[in-house]
Amino acid sequence: MHEPLRVVTIQEARSKLEEHWQPQRRVKLFPLDEAGGMVLAEEVSSEIDLPPFDRSDYDGFAVRAADTFGAGEDDPVELFKVGEVLAGQDPEVELERGQCATIATGAQVPNGADAVVMVEDTTSIGERVEVRRSVTPGENVSERGSEIEQGAKIVSAGRRLSPQVHGTLFACGVRDVKIFCKPKVAVISTGQELIEAGSKLGPGQIYDVNGPAICDAVNNCGAEPSYLGIVQDSFSEIEERVREALSDHDLTIISGGSSAGAKDIVPETVNGLGDPGVLVHGLAQKPGKPTFLAVIDGNPIFGLPGYPVSALMVFDQLVAPYLRFLSAAPEVGRKRIRARLAKKVLSARGRRELVPVSLDEGDCLLAHPLRKGSGAITSLANADGYIAISVDQEIVEEGAEVTVNMFGGSELA
């Protein structure tokens, strides 16, 4: 049985965890067409010259520039049309002196030609083309490799594959990219009284909320949750399920049921599974008392409170930052916003307290405190975020300006 540990602040909890676990992003080679929205783990270079050939910028005639020298409005040069090149075609023709070929925008400039005369500067009479404006070598042509050369850097590591960046890599012939993997997260609920959604409630039973809600929150951090279900308050069941979690996940989250007596079974069982075991047990804030952090042979385990709003607040503070780092997920919306407190809140001196709030946009943004109690389910449905009341504050008055930490994915974010 592990010794009771001193309650610590969130910052201390993170430091203790990071003494034994340094989050490392995993990298994977991924087909480009399935990688939209993901984050590049390496710099990417072009596989091809772009354009891959000398390309006409306009509809007109491919010419040898030298043939047009001296051409003017009143002094046209006459060329002999020997072929036509459409976009996407292999230009089978090769120009000799005095020859030209009809060419479309985007088409490949044929051998022998080095410039394009725009159609509006010409007059065609059968096979003869009068050119009324001279062009210099390269004029109206995008030279092969002028956008980017094969092997040149396109984008840096760390860029997200937005439609623009993703499209660029397609243009450059890239097929596979190294991306940061979604971290795999095991989610376990514990509690004698819990049953899974879809089952029929028996006497004394309630539906599990934390399993699906924490999976959603994991998803919102760009990570991949797998819900391992509910375990009863028994050493052997907890041990078996946690070992399953550790074997195949980057991170494990266990939320406690509310059943008493069994309160310490989870951290005690976890502590016996490997080294260094439980590092933190209890946060110096309300809620947070039942929170524990452990590392078992390099794998982190986060134990969250059983009460859903508390579980999600502690998730947001302790787990989400690691998941967002591991998945290289962007911040979604505003994380903190200022609002006025709609109703005064009392708090016990000597303890930091988090209070869930719902937001209400009127003349100014109002934060309504939602207290645990008979309306617990309403406070879960309506919580947009939470405010923190510091250790030395006993009261926050109605109308006071507060900072609301938004839950990820909130409506107002």
Q: Which of residues 198-257 bind a second copy (CB under 8 A)?
A: 198, 201-210, 212-217, 219-220, 257
Let me know: does 230 contact 237? Beta carbons within 8 Å: no
Vertex 14 angle, CA 186 and 309, to 5°: 55
Q: What gap in Å lies between CA 7 and CA 290, rounded to an integer?
A: 10
Question: Which residue, 203 or 362, is less far from a second copy as judged by CB?
Answer: 203
Query: Least separation, in Å, of the C-beta of 298 and a second copy?
Result: 28
**Site pattern 21..60 for a second copy (x: CB under 8 A):** -----------xx--xx----------x-xxxx-----x-
Question: Which residue, 155 or 186, is less far from a second copy as judged by CB?
Answer: 155
Question: Which residue, 1 or 197, is less far from a second copy as judged by CB?
Answer: 197
345 to 384, contacts with a second copy by CB under 8 A? 374-378, 380-383
178 to 197, contacts with a second copy by CB under 8 A? 191-194, 197
137 scored as a contact of a second copy (CB under 8 A): no
Question: Which residue, 247 or 374, is less far from a second copy as judged by CB?
Answer: 374
146 scored as a contact of a second copy (CB under 8 A): yes
What residue type is 26 in one-letter code?
Answer: R
Question: Which residue, 46 or 299, is less far from a second copy as judged by CB?
Answer: 46
Q: What gap in Å lies between CA 197 and CA 117, rounded to an integer?
A: 71
Pairing of the two strands 365-369 and 336-341: parallel
From first CA to last CA, the distance across the chain in angstroms is 44
Let me know: does 293 contact 11? Beta carbons within 8 Å: no
Q: How many residues bind a second copy (CB under 8 A)?
A: 92
Among 130, 147, 224, 264, binds a second copy (CB under 8 A): 147
Among 5, 7, 27, 104, binds a second copy (CB under 8 A): 104
> Would you say the C-alpha torsion 376, 391, 336, 341 has a positive or negative sign?
positive
**Residue 179: enclosing H or E segment and its boundaries?**
strand 176-180
260 to 299, contacts with a second copy by CB under 8 A? 260-261
Query: Least separation, in Å, of the C-beta of 370 and a second copy?
Result: 10
Q: Binding segment for a second copy among 19-27, 170-178, 272-280, 284-292 (CB under 8 A)?
A: 170-178
129 scored as a contact of a second copy (CB under 8 A): no
Query: Least separation, in Å, of the C-beta of 225 and a second copy?
Result: 10
Query: Least separation, in Å, of the C-beta of 335 and a second copy?
Result: 12
Question: Which residue, 66 or 86, is less far from a second copy as judged by CB?
Answer: 86
Question: Which residue, 75 or 90, is less far from a second copy as judged by CB?
Answer: 90
Let me know: does 56 contact 139? Beta carbons within 8 Å: no
Q: What gap in Å lies between CA 315 and CA 138, rounded to an integer?
A: 61
Q: Residue 306: which residues within 8 A CB-CB, separation 6 or more?
A: 190, 191, 210, 255, 256, 257, 258, 290
7 to 26, contacts with a second copy by CB under 8 A? none
171 scored as a contact of a second copy (CB under 8 A): yes
Strand, helix or coil at 349?
Answer: coil
- Using only C-alpha atoms, the chain has a radius of gyration, in whole angstroms, of 33
Question: Which residue, 211 or 303, is less far from a second copy as judged by CB?
Answer: 211
Q: How far is C-alpha 272 from the geometric centre of its chain's CA atoms? A: 35
Strand residue runs (E) in 211-275 = 224-231, 251-255
Question: Which residue, 157 or 381, is less far from a second copy as judged by CB?
Answer: 381
Q: What gap in Å lies between CA 397 and CA 213, rounded to an integer?
A: 32
Tally of CB atoms within 10 A around 410? 18
- Helices vs. strands in the chain: H and E counts, helices first: 9, 28
163 scored as a contact of a second copy (CB under 8 A): yes
**Site pattern 303..342 for a second copy (x: CB under 8 A):** -----xx--x-----------------x-xx---------
> Would you say the C-alpha torsion 80, 83, 86, 92 has a positive or negative sign?
negative
